[in-house]
Amino acid sequence: MMIYIFVYKIPIFPPPTGLLSPNHPSDPLGRFLDMASHAMLPIITFVLATSGVWIYITRAIVVRIVEEDFVYVAKAKGLHDRTIMRSYIMRAAAPPIATNAILGLGRLPGGSYSDRDYLQLAWAWQALLRCYRCSRALPNTWPNIYNGAGLYSS
């Protein structure tokens, strides 16, 4: 969906032809910028796909800490909400949030099994195109390919 919108309908990103464009620049800076332009859409897609989980976990941690007794004591003392948030809630919430973030960094290079499958399905459009071309040559194969992809993704 992201490729369809941001490459073909609103052409902000280059078409996904691999790591580099077919006519990539030969100088190191141009090559790096070409690689970066090809990497932006997959990175944005990954961040959007995983940000919901991070937001939910962080919210759950903060909500649990807000209900602690020391926060009620700080409110009873008459401290400002900003002081309570900074000095009491965020100080207690920072270690579990940082732990989750650091453990999540370990998944970035390889990803978990489901993240890797998601990215492979999202960016393997050339393979799907080949399957579609094959199905045009053999008309009865497209439902089998479609059902196999459904089984693989579930």
State pTM to two decimals: 0.54
**How many angstroms separate the CA atoms of 111 and 115, rounded?**
6
Q: Answer yes or no: are the C-beta atoms of 122 and 16 closer than 8 Å.
A: no
In a domain, 102, yes or no: yes
Tell me which residue has tokens 């393979």. 127
Count structural domains, the chain: 2
In a domain, 79, yes or no: yes
CA nearest to 146, candidates 130, 125, 132: 132
Mean pLDDT of 47-76: 90
Determine phi and psi for 77, rounding to 5 degrees: -70, -15
Same domain, 95 and 145: no
Mean pLDDT of 49-78: 91
pLDDT digits (tens, 9 = 90+) for 26-41: 888 888 888 888 888 8
pLDDT score, position 118: 52
Domain that holds residue 142: 124-154
User: In the structure encoding, which two tokens stand for residue 110, read together?
Assistant: 């390889």
Same domain, 133 and 102: no
3-state class (DSSP) for residue 17: coil
Alpha-carbon 60 to chain mean position: 20
pLDDT score, position 38: 82
